[in-house]
A and B are shown apart, each in its own frame.
Chain A
């Protein structure tokens, strides 16, 4: 006997299209009988066909079939709610999670904006980007290290390569290493994750290659220390105090170790440039470092440093997204203010409630 739940759950292209159409017309896709308020005839439970089970499916024994989850209680006999098996509930599910519809719309608008500006920049039109002091300081810091004959320490955070900040950090590392290759400075990259170590090696090697100095690349300077947060910090502290690097870069995701690292770097007199999107760590970096890339500046770094039209276009698209968000914020604030000034206006209250409960959740 075929598993009834699997049988009911099988999708055909036609049923998917029907559901899609129902979705487009609005409202959840429920079977028509479930919306009927009038008691109907005996509730029916779909009988499974006697198809042979396909590969990977197991036939149910008669007793198992009887035990298949079916809600056919008193409500079913009155007709208020028909008998529903899990398979029927499964059919009721939406193709799209409608609760996330607004988020999808925002994502599409924002992504559309970024894609549009990338295409715009590719067409050859100039894209202007303001200067970011922290990134301008990269050359200065590496130059200083060269003059002093000391190394450059680059710390790509303590998260793995699946963290977007770590990926953004690799772009800055590419620039730092390229400058170091040109100036003949030593760049040391201790990592807290082995995958980051591999990526950093690829990045630095490519940077040395593009600087025309592949012979100067030393992969032993990019190495794995430990996954343990404070073990990593202890190693870095020791390294800083012993080697006294002239420039320290902290780019990536940091937690409690941010201030320990930045203060140690400060105590040895290193020029320090930090960049992170961890809001809680930003004050520490601002207090202890010479330059700090705050949040979005850090993400803009890749576009800013590469200077390629596509990257700069994406930055412009990001700014457009910010404009849209700012506009929506102002609109929301005005509506919420009006709703509090005119508390008897149901229209305003409903709009604000809708925004709060549907759009912002």
Chain B
């Protein structure tokens, strides 16, 4: 029963979603199933919060290395949760001025908004900004010309990088552009393709798109196959692979 019930729920929900896509009458059923998932996910937030508290409290009580960070995490968690749930500092909604809690928790000026704007957003931006350095180090390693394939990759990357910058336009500015010619011949069109910015577009539209589409088709078929396995109960890995 422990495995049969979830399997049935998953199968029914999955088939309802498929049917809802093809039969307009049942569209609302599909929406209902999505809402049920949202409810489940909302309940799971409590589970996640509880686990976060448990893990961090254990770290503090065991005095494990870095336990002070766990304390900071807990304090931040509690403060953020309190400000958000109790809507501290938020003004009542204009349509319901008599109700003190009718305003939104994240409206401008509230402590929750302040912490989000001035603590979380800068921290996120910092991590995201680090990506630029990681891209550089990964590119350095990937573009080492060790064999023919690596040399081709390096050359293509060089063209793309140049073509995406102003330097590319400047370097091949002397090649005539067929855009300026009223009725360009095939040869004129071919020559204008040698401009770095046009070469970049050519590489991205032809070679890159062809490779990308092959991967996308594989992914789409793989997704459909896995989905079907789940709906038919062949793949039960999401329930754990043990017996009842």
Inter-subunit contact B22/A97 (CB<8 Å): yes
With A203-B240, A210-B241, A260-B134 in contact, do A321 and B225 touch (Cβ < 8 Å)? yes
Contact of B221 among A110, A206, A266 (CB under 8 A): A110
Q: Which residues of B contact A229 (CB under 8 A)?
A: 124
With A230-B124, A315-B225 in contact, do A310 and B234 touch (Cβ < 8 Å)? yes
Contact of B131 among A94, A259, A286, A322 (CB under 8 A): A259
Tell me whether chain B's interface is mostly helix, strand or loop, or mixed.
Answer: helix
Q: Check A314 for interface membership: any CB of B closer than 8 A.
A: yes
With A104-B22, A233-B127 in contact, do A287 and B237 touch (Cβ < 8 Å)? no
Inter-subunit contact A171/B242 (CB<8 Å): no
In angstroms, Cα B37 to Cα A95, docked, is 26
Contact of A223 among B22, B41, B55 (CB under 8 A): B55
In angstroms, Cα B220 to Cα A103, docked, is 13
**What is the chain B residue whose CB lies nearest that of A225?**
B52
Q: Which residues of A contact B241 (CB under 8 A)?
A: 174, 203, 206-207, 210
Q: Check B219 for interface membership: any CB of A closer than 8 A.
A: yes
Distance in Å: Cβ of A355 to nearest Cβ of chain B: 16
Inter-subunit contact A164/B221 (CB<8 Å): no
Q: Which residues of B contact A203 (CB under 8 A)?
A: 237-238, 240-241
With A104-B22, A111-B228 in contact, do A205 and B242 touch (Cβ < 8 Å)? yes
Inter-subunit contact B242/A167 (CB<8 Å): no
Inter-subunit contact B240/A205 (CB<8 Å): yes
With A203-B240, A263-B137 in contact, do A193 and B48 touch (Cβ < 8 Å)? yes
In angstroms, Cα B223 to Cα A202, docked, is 23
Q: Which residues of B contact A53 (CB under 8 A)?
A: none
Contact digits for B114-153, partner A, Cβ 8 Å, 1 yes 0 no:
0000001001100110110011011101100000000000
Inter-subunit contact B123/A234 (CB<8 Å): yes
Inter-subunit contact B138/A322 (CB<8 Å): no
Inter-subunit contact A164/B55 (CB<8 Å): no
Q: Which residues of A contact B124 (CB under 8 A)?
A: 228-231
For chain B, the count of residues having a C-beta within 8 Å of the partner chain is: 59
Q: Which residues of B contact A321 (CB under 8 A)?
A: 221, 224-225
Among the stretches A76-84, A123-131, A290-298, the one at the interface with B is: A290-298
Contact digits for A290-331, partner B, Cβ 8 Å, 1 yes 0 no:
000011101110100010001100110110011001000000
Q: Check B229 for interface membership: any CB of A closer than 8 A.
A: yes
In angstroms, Cα B229 to Cα A171, docked, is 13
Q: Which residues of A contact B109 (CB under 8 A)?
A: none
**What is the chain A residue whose CB lies nearest that of B40?**
A195
In angstroms, Cα B218 to Cα A279, docked, is 11
**Which residues in chain A, 145-192, are within 8 Å of chain B measured between CB atoms?**
160-162, 164, 167-168, 170-171, 174
**What is the chain B residue whose CB lies nearest that of A118?**
B234
In the complex, the 7 A-B pairs of residues with the closest C-beta atoms, listed nearest first: A194-B48, A299-B222, A206-B242, A202-B240, A296-B218, A206-B240, A287-B142
A residues neighboring B (CB under 8 Å)? 93-97, 100, 103-104, 107, 110-111, 114-115, 118, 160-162, 164, 167-168, 170-171, 174, 193-195, 197-199, 202-203, 205-207, 209-210, 220, 223-231, 233-234, 242, 256, 259-260, 262-263, 266, 277, 279, 282, 284, 286-288, 294-296, 298-300, 302, 306, 310-311, 314-315, 317-318, 321-322, 325
B residues neighboring A (CB under 8 Å)? 18, 21-25, 37, 40-41, 44-45, 47-49, 51-52, 55, 58, 65-66, 120, 123-124, 127-128, 130-131, 134-135, 137-139, 141-142, 212, 215-219, 221-230, 232, 234-235, 237-242
The 27 sampled A-B contact pairs (Cβ below 8 Å) are A96-B23, A110-B224, A164-B223, A167-B230, A167-B238, A193-B48, A194-B47, A194-B49, A197-B48, A198-B44, A203-B241, A210-B241, A220-B55, A223-B52, A224-B52, A231-B124, A233-B127, A259-B138, A260-B127, A282-B215, A287-B139, A296-B218, A311-B229, A311-B234, A318-B224, A322-B217, A322-B221
